[in-house]
């Protein structure tokens, strides 16, 4: 009798715990800048870009929320991560296979795209400055932004056989890779 009572008590406790976890999981609000991943192949290399995708929300993005001529984490929250399993040539410069934090320095007429060997850090410091440590920059490429064909409410990365592009608001930043 005691054994049956113990089993029922255990099952009731287990059921209650599972219901609590289910309810708590449903109460989580959507993140303002959800985590996203872009995957693709460039010249036989498997490439992944892991980033958090902020929204425009009626704000001025370029030269406003994201200032010109200052290093930016190229996304929201944690620093954006660029991974390739084979060496790539980015804008004519060699990038060894590996995992990198991806930063950018936006400008009105040209951008710098920065591949940094330090990974795993939050994208900004408490004072609002970026976590990019320039001494760990592996490759810096200069690219020209263009007007995007559509308005992108959320930041998105797209990978193609010609490279990758950062697209947000009315700007597209293509980065040639092979």
pLDDT for the residue numbered 120: 85
Q: Do 11 and 37 fall into the same domain?
A: no
pLDDT for the residue numbered 9: 59
Q: Do 67 and 132 fall into the same domain?
A: yes
Q: Do 106 and 172 fall into the same domain?
A: yes
Mean predicted confidence (pLDDT) in 5-32 = 58
Range of the domain at 19: 1-30
Contacts by residues 127-135 (CB-CB < 8 Å, ≥ 24 positions apart): 130/70, 130/71, 130/72, 130/73, 130/103, 131/73, 131/79, 131/101, 132/71, 132/73, 132/79, 132/101, 132/103
Q: Is the pLDDT higher at 17 or at 88?
A: 88
Instruction: Please state, as a whole number, how many other Cβ atoms lie within 10 Å of the Cβ of residue 139.
Output: 17
Continuous segment of H or E residues that includes residue 16: helix 2-26
Q: pLDDT tens digits for 39-79?
A: 999 999 999 999 999 999 999 999 999 999 999 999 999 99
Number of domains in the chain: 2
Q: Do 7 and 62 fall into the same domain?
A: no
Q: Do 23 and 57 fall into the same domain?
A: no
Q: Do 10 and 76 fall into the same domain?
A: no
Q: Do 110 and 43 fall into the same domain?
A: yes
């Amino acid at each position: 009798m005691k054994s049956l009572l113990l089993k029922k008590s255990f099952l009731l406790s287990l059921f209650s715990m599972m219901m609590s976890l289910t309810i708590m999981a449903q109460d989580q609000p959507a993140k303002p800048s959800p985590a996203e991943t872009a995957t693709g192949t460039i010249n036989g290399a498997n490439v992944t870009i892991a980033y958090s995708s902020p929204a425009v929300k009626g704000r001025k993005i370029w030269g406003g929320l994201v200032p010109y001529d200052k290093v930016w984490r190229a996304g929201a929250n944690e620093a954006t991560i660029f991974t390739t399993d084979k060496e790539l040539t980015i804008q004519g410069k060699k990038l060894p296979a590996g995992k990198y934090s991806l930063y950018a320095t936006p400008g009105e007429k040209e951008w710098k795209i920065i591949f940094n060997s330090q990974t795993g850090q939050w994208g900004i410091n408490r004072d609002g400055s970026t976590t990019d440590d320039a001494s760990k920059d592996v490759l810096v490429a200069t690219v020209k932004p263009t007007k995007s064909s559509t308005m992108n409410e959320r930041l998105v990365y797209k990978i193609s056989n010609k490279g990758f592009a950062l697209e947000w608001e009315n700007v597209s930043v293509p980065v040639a890779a092979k």
